[in-house]
Structure 1
Amino acid sequence: MDASRFRVLRWSAPAVASSLVVLLGGCTGSAPAKQDGPTHTRTVASRTNSDLQGDYQRVIKNVLPSVVQIRAGEGLGSGVVYDDQGHIVTNAHVVGSSRTFQVTTANSEHPLTAHLIYSYPAQDLAVVKLDTLPHGLKAAAFGDSTKVEVGQIVLAMGSPLGLSSSVTQGIVSATGRTVSEGSTDGATGATIANMVQTSAAINPGNSGGALVNLDSEVIGIPTLAAVDPGFGNSAAPGIGFAIPANMVKTIADQIIAKGRVTHSGRAALGITGRTLVNVGSQPVGVAVVDVQHGGAADKAGLRAGDVIVKLGDREITTITSLSEALAGDKPGQRTTVTYLRGGDRKTADVTLSEQ
C-alpha cells in the first residue's frame, strides 16, 4: 500500500438512528468456495450454492454468539468473548477513556455492565470483563494467524453503525501489513505490524469484532479501514485491516493473568523524536529529541540532535516511517542506524530493546 496516498481510520462509531444506518447498509457478494482449513481451498466447481450457503450459516451460528456490542460513553464498538470467565477483547480506541461499559451479548435480554481490566493503546487492544455472566455465554475459538493465506474466505462480524450481529463476507487480500493508525478523533496513533488486510466490509462500529475463517476461528480483530484522501473522507471500499489473532492472544493472556502487558514483543530504539523537514517542507529524517538512558540508542552512542535517516536498509523520513520500520523488527535483533551529526553521515550498530 502506498502510505503517501492512503491513511487509516479507527473504526468505532457513535450511536446513530436506525433510519440512517439502513441507508448506509449493503449486501455481500456471491459466495466463493469453501475451505477445508486455514491452508487449503476447494474450487468453486466442487461446491453447490446450497453447500456454500450452509458453510456460511454454520460459521455464523458457531461464532456470532461470541460477538458483542460495546457502548463506551456515546460511542459504539464491538468485542469478542475471550473465555468463559466473561473477559472480552476489543480495541483500545473502542474503550477510550471509559472505565465502565454497557455490553449487549447474544443471550442477554438487556445490556450488561462490564469494567475495564486494561487498555494497551500501543497495540490498540483492550480487555473488559462482564460483572455478571449471562446464561450460555460462549467464548470464541481463536486460530493461528501465521497460517492465514491470501485468498482465504473470511467473514467480518460486529456492530457496524449500531446494527448488532451484522456479518459481511470477503477474502484475505494480503498479510503482513504494517499500518499506522491516526492519532485524532479518538484513535491511538499505534503502528501495528503483521495486520491482515481484507476485502470484507469493515464499517464504523466493527472495531473490536471478529474476522473469522470458515473453520469458525477468529483470525483477527477488525480495527481499521483505509481512506483515500483523493476521494474525501469516506472509507476506501474493500480495504480493511485486522490485528492478527496471535498478537491478540499474546496481549489478552497477559492482561488476564497479570492485569497489564509485561511483554509487548515490540522493538524500540529508546528515543523520543520528531519529524524533521527541509526548507521545502519535505520530511528528511527523525530528529532525536531525547535518548533513554541505558536504551538501545544510548548504548549505540546516539544523542539528542542526531537525525536518523536509515534503519537497516529502510529509509527513514518521518517518525511514522521509523515506527513502521521498528514494527517489523524484534527486541534483541541487531541492526544498523544511519544518522546525521553536525553535517557528517554516521552509522552505528544497535541491538533493539523492547518497547
Structure 2
Amino acid sequence: MDASRTRVRLCLPLAALVCSAALIAGCSSGSGSSPAQDGTTTQAAAPAAANDLQDDYLKVIKDVLPSVVQIQARADLGSGVVYDDKGHIVTNAHVVGDEKTFKVTTANSEDEQTATLVHAYPEQDLAVIKLDKVPDGLKAASFGDSSKVQVGQIVLAMGSPLGLSSSVTQGIVSATGRTVSEGSSGGGTGATIANMVQTSAAINPGNSGGALVDLDGRVIGIPTLAATDPTLGAGTAPGIGFAIPASMVTKVADQIIKDGKVTDSGRAALGITGRTVVDDDYQAAGVAVVEVKSGGAADKAGIEPGDIITKVGDTGITTITSLAEALAAEKPGDKVAVTYTRGGTEKRVDVTLGEQ
C-alpha cells in the first residue's frame, strides 16, 4: 500500500509535465477555445520572453564586464572589480596573498597595467589595490544593496576562471545569509564569513575577486569560493558557490580607501587565541583558551588561559571553526552566554563581545 502511494506521487509531476507540453503544442482542454489560436499565442509569447531575457543579459554584460579586471600576482591569478574612477580595485585577500605589486588587465585592453596594494583584510577575505596609472575609459562598477537580494533571482558571475579573462557564467541566487569557513590551505585565508550569497553560477579558480551581478547591472557580491565535495577529493561541488555580500564589500573598501585599513569591522570577537581540543575518544570537544587579550571581552568576563569553551549561547562549540561560526552570527556589543570548563568544573558567564 505504501509503495503504491509512492508510485502515484511520483507519477503526478510527470502527468502534469505531459499536460503542459500538450498545451504548449496547442492542445485543447475541451473548453471551446480555438486550439490553433491558443497554440499560436503561446508559441509567440515564449520566443518573445526568451529574447527579452537575452537582451537583459547582453545589456548587463556590456555595462558591467568592462569594470571586471584580471589580476596577476607572482604565483596566483584572480579577478577584481573597479571600485572608483581613481583606479581602486576591490578583490579577495587570498588573490593578493602576500604580494604588494600586481599586473592588471582590463576587459577592453590586452595591455597590462601595474597596481599596488592599498591594504588586505584577511579576516573578511577582502583587499583593495590601486592602479599606478588610471587608463582612459576606466569604468567603476555599481554596487547593489545586499539586503534586497532574493533567492531565485538571476545572476551572472564575471571574472577570469582558469585564466580565461572576461568570462561570464549564469545562475540564480540559491540562498542568502550563509556562514562559510574557508580553508587556510590551498591559498585561502582561513576566514569565517557571515551572510554570504550562495549561487548556482559556476565559480572556478580565477573567479575569486570578480563580480556577481544582478540583471539591473549591480554588483551584489564578490565571488570568493566554491563548496568542495569530499567524494571528489579536492574537486568542487558543481553549482554551489559563495560570494561576499556587496554591503560588506563597500563597508570594508570605503574604510581601506579612506584610512588605509579597516577601522570598523563589524565582526564580533571574544579576544582570545584558542585551539581545538579532543576528548578521550579523540573527538573534537571544545576550544582551549591559549591566550587572552588584555582588556578584551573574555578578559573582562574572567575567562582565563586553560579554560575550555564548549558553548556560545545555545550553540555547542567543538572546534575553533565552530567558535568562529558562532561569533560570526553576533555583533560587537552583543551580550552572549559563554559556557566553559575549568579544572573539570563547568562554568557559565555573560560576555559582552568586542570587535575583531
**Aligned residue in 1 for 2:111:** 110
CA contact (8 A) 1:78 1:158 kept: yes
Cα distance, 1:61 vs. partner? 0.6
Corresponding residue for 1:78? 79
SS in 2 for 1:185: helix
How big is the shift at 1:231?
2.4
What SS does the corresponding residue of 1:303 show, helix, strand or coil? Answer: coil
The aligned amino acid for 1:245 is A
Aligned-partner residue type, residue 156 of structure 2: L
| Distance of 1:46 and 1:140 partners within structure 2 | 31
Aligned counterpart, 2:229: 228
Counting aligned pairs with the same residue, the percent is 73
User: Distance between the aligned counterparts of 2:319 and 2:48, measured in 1?
Assistant: 49
The one-letter amino acid of 1:328's match is A
Aligned counterpart, 1:193: 194
Is contact 1:272–1:291 with CA below 8 Å preserved after alignment?
Answer: yes
What RMSD in Å do the two structures reach over aligned CA positions? 1.2
Aligned twin of 1:249:
250
Deviation at 1:342, TM superposition (A): 1.3
Q: How many residues align?
A: 312
Q: Is the 8 A contact 1:107 1:137 kept in 2?
A: no
Q: How far apart, in 1, do the equivalents of 2:47 and 2:322 lie?
A: 45
**Greater percentage in helix:** 2
| Corresponding residue number in structure 1 for 2:173 | 172
Letter in 1 for 2:143: F
Counterparts in 2 of 1:290 and 1:237: CA distance versus 1, 3 Å: same
User: Counterpart in 1 of 2:90?
Assistant: 89
Q: 2:301 is matched with which residue? A: 300
1:225-250: per-residue Cα shift (whole Å, max 9, x none)?
A: 00011222111000000000000000
Alpha-carbon distance in structure 1 between the residues aligned to 2:231 and 2:70:
32
Greater RCO, CA 8 A, separation 6+ = 1
> Scaled by the length of structure 1, what TM-score is found?
0.86
Q: Map of 1:1-355 to 2, 5 A cutoff?
A: 48-355=49-356
Distance, in Å, in 2 between the alignment partners of 1:158 and 1:195 is 18
Rounded to whole Å, the distance in 2 between the matches of 1:137 and 1:152 is 29
Structure 1: any 5+ residue segments left out of the alignment? 1-43
- 8 Å contact 1:69–1:78 — kept in the other structure? yes
How far apart are 1:343 and its partner, in Å?
1.3
Q: Which has the larger radius of gyration?
A: 2
8 Å CA contact 1:81–1:89 kept in 2: the answer is: yes
The amino acid of 1:76's aligned partner reads L
Whether the aligned pair in 2 keeps the contact of 1:107 and 1:136 (CA below 8 Å) is: no
- What amino acid is the match of 1:100? T
CA distance in 2, matches of 1:344, 1:191: 30
Deviations 1:231-273 (A, max 9, x none): 2211100000000000000000000001111111100001111
